[in-house]
Amino acid sequence: MTVPTTILGQNQYGKAENRVVKITRDGATHHIRDLNVSVSLSGDLDEVHYSGSNANVLPTDTTKNTVFAFAKEQGIESAEQFGLALARHFVDATEPIRTARIRVEEYAWERIATSEGEAPHSFVRRGQETRTAQVTYDGSTVEILSGLKGLTVLNSTDSEFWGYIKDKYTTLKEDYDRILATEVSAVWRHGWNGEDDASAPDWQSSYEGTKALMLGAFAETYSLSLQQTLYRMGSQVLEGRPELEEIRFSMPNKHHFKVDLEPFGIKNEAADGAVYIAADRPYGLIEATVLREGAEARIPLDLTNL
């Protein structure tokens, strides 16, 4: 082997975006789980980079096959459970693989309502958020980050923004009754570390409970800034969900500006029901982590790939 004058840094590999759909039949009633699963493995993999020896490489093609085989053999209970089964398999069954990171996006379907009631095997894709999960396993410890993205919410009042710094470039008018809208991306970290399967959270109810607390706090906070609303959402989640240690949000401020209709002699006031222009870009971007006191901040700062 030639001695490299460069050295290999962090590396990982796997099959990204395995789109797996599992149907479960319960008599005539069918159930659907629809996931996008990305596998990323690391371990004793220097040689494949240095010399091209594939002796320690489990092909990405095999990782893809494993995703589909596990969906059939074990079923898909939740994004987290499925990710955990895969992560444990890759590390525990393949000696050179030391760490597995499984990312899952889940797309929700709901039953179509017909005049006969809920259709047993006809579904419409739900337009709300995408659920996410990331499972990392290093042979001893599990870390599970659950989350969501694309959850768009709006308060048509109970939002103000005033009292901010004004310098020579400031043109923004103080607002005492504005629309507050955002598209929530959030990732939350579970305290459970995989040591005791019996004490694992109920992933489904944990997800639903977290989302409900987040939405409740958004609706119930009288907001003086999106930052304040974000913090309230995070603290309400952590107070209500003891299984969680920290939560991070990325929330674009989806500005709605009152249109100036004065040139047409028309008053356009929030108090009378106003007309707004929903601005697309640029947008304010408010991001923060909320932690349980004493917890470590481990969620990555950039949520875009989670």
Ligand X SMILES: O=c1[nH]c(=O)c2[nH]c(=O)[nH]c2[nH]1
For ligand X, the nearest residue by Cβ is 226
Give the interface with ligand X as residue ranges (CB under 6 A).
161, 172, 225-227, 253, 284
Nearer to ligand X, 206 or 253 (CB): 253
Which of the 8 DSSP states describes residue 136?
Answer: E
61 labelled binding-site residue: yes
What is the DSSP secondary structure assignment for residue 57, as one 8-state letter? P
134 assigned binding-site residue: no
Tokens representing 195? 């040591």
Q: How far is the CB of 287 from ligand X (least distance, A)?
A: 11
Minimum gap (Å) between residue 223 Cβ and ligand X: 7
- Residue 48 contacts residue 54 (beta carbons within 8 Å): yes
The answer to whether 101 is a known ligand-binding residue is: no
Q: Is 10 annotated as a binding residue?
A: no
> 43 or 234: whose CB is closer to ligand X?
234
Shortest Å distance, C-beta 71 to ligand X: 42
Phi-psi region of 238 (alpha: psi -120 to 50; beta: other; left: phi over 0): alpha
d(CA 139, CA 114): 49
294 vs 246: CA distance, rounded Å: 10
Taking alpha carbons only, the member of 35, 50, 44 closest to residue 12 is 44
Q: Is 161 marked as binding a ligand?
A: yes
For residue 61, count CB atoms less than 10 angstroms from its CB and return exposed for 0-12, middle for 13-18, buried for 19 or more: exposed
CA of residue 168 relative to chain centroid, distance = 39
Q: What are the two backbone dihedrals, phi and then psi, of residue 94, each rounded to the nearest 5 degrees?
A: -130, 105
Q: Which is nearer to ligand X, 11 or 157 (CB)?
A: 157
Catalytic (active-site) positions: 15, 60, 255
Closest to ligand X by CB, 26 or 280: 280
* Shortest distance (Å) from residue 113 CB to ligand X: 38
Which residue numbers belong to the known binding site for urate? 60-61, 161, 178, 227, 253
Which residue numbers belong to the known binding site? 60-61, 161, 178, 227, 253
Which residue numbers belong to the known binding site for O2? 60, 253
